[in-house]
Amino acid sequence: MDEIQKVDLTHVKPYGDTLNDGMVQMSFTLPIPYGDESKEAARQLVSKMGFRDASVVFSKDLGIGYTYFVVYGKCVHTVDYTAIKVPKVKMEFMDMYGVQDYIKENIKRNVVIVGACTGTDAHTVGIDAIMNMKGFDGNYGLERYKGIEAINMGSQVPNEELIAKAIEVRADAIIVSQVVTQKDVHIKNLTQLVEILEAEKIRDKIILVCGGPRISHELAQELGYDAGFGVGSCANHVATFVVKQIVERKLI
């Protein structure tokens, strides 16, 4: 407790054994063959990053001229934690029962939500955690909510098919999950979906939400979405946002 009280939140830095010692553990791979020279290269590289007393504590030959390293070093930089402002969905989230009551009292009809992992992305873990009845980590998915008609289209769904389904069922909201992010393919895919909605002249009639490990609320809004939910988000967070947006935007 005494250590915690000594923390200066305007100058926060990492620590390993002692407060403010700056100790950091890094791991990375270099395209060079395993050996003493590669270890020295890794040490010099970390030193150029601004770490003091850098030392290679582990290295492994990955074959074909690649080596993996774990390096320790002392970070000399700090951040002002008190000045950090992260854009996020700001509202009091309801649990499943609260959402169900809200729908019954304020919307008085089923809320239709269509979701998918779009493009070439085959990872369904994100969209399933939000949509599937069993949900994730004790948080039930939207399929279990009374008053919500949840349609999970699965993975590798073209944007055109997702939008066509949303139009067919007169969806209130579209949820898009993106897990694969190499070469920013998720940015291109998410942008295309918004462009198609705008071309169909229905963007303002549908609540648009995206999520994934590299999705933030700020990024989502920059791309034209109403909200973005990252790692740790649950079905009740998405459901709360959608139903409140329906009422606020008078999409009842």
CATH number at residue 122: 3.40.50.280
The residue from 75, 104, 119 where one domain ends is 75
Q: Are residues 66 and 189 in the same domain?
A: no
Token output for 4: 């915690």
138 shares its domain with 70: no
101 and 49 within one domain: no
**pLDDT score at 1:** 46
- Say whether both 71 and 105 belong to one domain: no
In terms of residue numbers, what domain contains 225?
96-248
Task: Assess whether 50 and 103 both reside in one domain.
Answer: no
Is residue 82 assigned to a domain?
no
**Are 126 and 53 contained in the same domain?**
no
The domain tally of the chain equals 2
* CATH (domain of 40): 3.30.30.60
Burial code of 26-41, b = ≥16 C-beta within 10 A, e = fewer?
beeebeeebeeebbeb
Residue 40 shares a structural domain with residue 165: no
Does residue 47 sit in the same domain as residue 115?
A: no
Report mean pLDDT in 10-residue bins for the chain, 252 residues: 70 90 96 97 96 96 96 95 87 96 97 94 90 90 97 95 97 94 88 96 96 92 95 94 96 88
Residue 242 and residue 209 in one domain: yes
- Determine which one of 60, 88, 134, 188 is catalytic: 134
Residue 13: active-site member: no
Q: Kindly state whether residues 68 and 131 are assigned to the same domain.
A: no
Q: Is 123 helix (H, G, I), strand (E, B) or coil?
A: coil
